[in-house]
């Protein structure tokens, strides 16, 4: 896969969250949010975590935005929805 810009991946993630799950706010991108799955850029890459009481729980770190977005899709949906959403995300990212 060609090098994909971070902005394009974030836009694709938001589009897929709306299209497949009906809500782009299933994952909050770029900032902390209370009682939410959050995806934030850090110095070393991307952090995906659950925000609660100003803490970062179940943190996962990714060096690649594409991998971080795919993991965010996992957290956003139900098992039967995830593979379809991931495939759609990858398709949109490559456009």
- Say if pTM beats, i.e. exceeds, 0.75: yes
Kindly give, in sequence order, each residue whose CB lies less than 8 Å from that of residue 76, ignoring residues fewer than 6 positions away.
17, 21, 26, 27, 37, 85
Measured CA to CA, the distance from residue 77 to residue 2 in angstroms comes to 27
Among 95, 78, 84, 90, which Cα is nearest to 13's? 90
pLDDT along the chain (95 residues), means of 10: 74 89 85 93 95 95 95 84 88 80
| The residue to which tokens 């977005």 are assigned | 69
Report whether 33 contacts 51 (CB < 8 A). Answer: yes
User: In this predicted structure, what is the pLDDT of residue 1?
Assistant: 39
């Amino acid at each position: 896969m060609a090098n994909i810009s971070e902005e394009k991946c974030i836009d694709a993630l938001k589009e897929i969250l709306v299209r497949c799950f009906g809500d782009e706010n299933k994952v909050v991108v770029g900032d902390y949010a209370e009682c939410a799955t959050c995806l934030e850029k850090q110095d070393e890459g991307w952090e995906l975590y659950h925000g609660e009481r100003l803490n970062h729980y179940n943190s996962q770190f990714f060096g690649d935005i594409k991998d971080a977005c795919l993991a965010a899709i996992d957290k956003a949906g139900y098992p039967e929805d995830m593979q379809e959403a991931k495939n759609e995300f990858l398709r949109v990212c490559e456009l």
